[in-house]
Amino acid sequence: MTAGTIMPYDEALERFEPVLGLETHVELGTRSKMFCGCKTTFGAPPNTQVCPTCLAFPGALPVANAQAIESTIRIGLALNCSIAEWCRFARKNYFYPDMPKNYQISQYDEPLCFDGYVDVEVDGKTVRIEIERVHLEEDTGKSTHVGGATGRIHGADYSIVDYNRAGIPLVEIVTKPIPGADRLAPEVARAYVTELREIMRSLGVSDVRMEEGSLRCDVNVSLMPRGSSEWGTRTETKNVNSLRSVERAVRSEIERQAAVLAGGGTITQETRHFHEDTGTTTSGRSKEEAQDYRYFPEPDLVPIAPDPAWVAELKAALPELPSVKRKRLQAEWGLSDLDMQAMHNADAIDLVEATVAAGAPAADARKWWMGELARKSNESGTPLADLPITPEQIARVTELVASGALNDKLAREVLEGVLAGEGTPDEVVERRGLKIVNDEGELSAIIDQVLADNADAAEKVRSGKIAAAGALVGGVMRASKGKADAARARQLILEKLGVSE
Partner 1 sequence: MSLIRKTAAELGSMIAAGEVSAVEVAEAHLDRMAEVEPKVQAFLHVDREVTLEQARAVDARLRAGEKLGPLAGVPIAHKDIFTTRDMPTTAASKILEGWRPPYDATVTARLREAGLVILGKTNLDEFAMGSSTENSAYHPTHNPWDLTKVPGGSSGGSSAAVAAYEAPLSTGTDTGGSIRQPAAVTGIVGMKPTYGGSSRYGLIAFASSLDTPGPFARNVLDAALLHEAFSGYDPMDSTSIDAPVPSVVEAAKNPDVAGMRIGVVKEFAGEGYQAGVLARYHEAVQLLESLGAKVVEVSCPSFTTALPAYYLIAPSECSSNLARFDAMRYGLRVGDDGTRSAEEVMALTRAAGFGPEVKRRIMLGTYALSSGYYDAYYGQAQKVRTVIAREFEAAYQQVDVLVSPTTPTTAFPIGERADDPMAMYLADLCTIPSNLAGNAAMSVPCGLADEDGLPVGLQIMAPVLADDRCYRVGAAVEQALESRWGGSLLSKAPQL
Judged by the rule CB under 8 A, the positions of this chain that interact with partner 1 are 52, 55-64, 91, 93, 95, 97, 100-103, 159, 161, 292, 294-296, 299-302
Task: Pick the closer one to partner 1 by CB: 128 or 294.
Answer: 294
User: In whole angstroms, what is the distance from residue 300 CA to residue 61 CA?
Assistant: 7
In the complex, the smallest distance separating the C-beta of residue 55 from partner 1, rounded to whole angstroms, is: 6
> From the CB of 153, what's the least distance to partner 1, in Å?
8
- Compare residues 47 and 491 and give the one whose CB is closer to partner 1: 47
Question: % helix / strand / coil in the chain, to the nearest 5?
Answer: 40, 20, 40
Shortest spacing between CB 271 and partner 1, in angstroms: 18
394 CB-contact burial (10 Å; exposed 0-12 / middle 13-18 / buried 19+)? buried
Alpha-carbon span 425 to 16, nearest angstrom: 55
Roughly what angle, to the nearest 10 degrees, separates helices 469-479 and 440-453?
A: 120
For helices 349-357 and 337-345, angle between their N-to-C axes, nearest 10 degrees: 100
H helices within 334-407, ranges in order? 337-345, 349-357, 362-368, 374-380, 391-402
The count of other CB atoms within 10 Å of the CB of residue 149 is: 8
Toward partner 1, which CB reaches closer, 51 or 262?
51
> Closest distance between partner 1 and the C-beta of residue 54, in Å?
11
By beta-carbon proximity to partner 1, the closer residue of 21 and 100 is 100
To the nearest 10°, report the CA torsion of 348, 355, 71, 48. 90
DSSP-based three-state secondary structure for 469: helix
DSSP 120-133: EEETTEEEEEEEEE
Shortest distance in whole angstroms from residue 176 CB to partner 1: 23
User: Which one, 303 or 404, has the nearer CB to partner 1?
Assistant: 303
CB of 101 to partner 1, least distance (A): 5
Q: Which amino acid is at 160?
A: I
The CB-of-299 to partner 1 minimum distance in angstroms stands at 4
DSSP state of 87: B
Q: Which is nearer to partner 1, 43 or 59 (CB)?
A: 59
- Nearest approach in angstroms of CB 298 to partner 1 is 8
Nearest CA to 173 among 115, 121, 212, 213? Answer: 115
Nearer to partner 1, 97 or 388 (CB): 97
CB nearer partner 1, residue 87 or residue 384: 87
Distance CA 61, CA 39 (A): 17
What is the C-alpha to C-alpha distance for residues 91 and 109, in angstroms, rounded to an integer? Answer: 11
Shortest distance in whole angstroms from residue 60 CB to partner 1: 7
How many other C-beta atoms lie within 10 A of the C-beta of residue 294?
A: 11
Minimum CB distance to partner 1, residue 286 (Å): 17
Q: How many CA atoms lie within 13 A of 480 on its CB side?
A: 30
Smaller CB separation from partner 1, 50 or 335? 50
**For residues 89 and 274, which CB has a smaller minimum distance to partner 1 in the complex?**
89
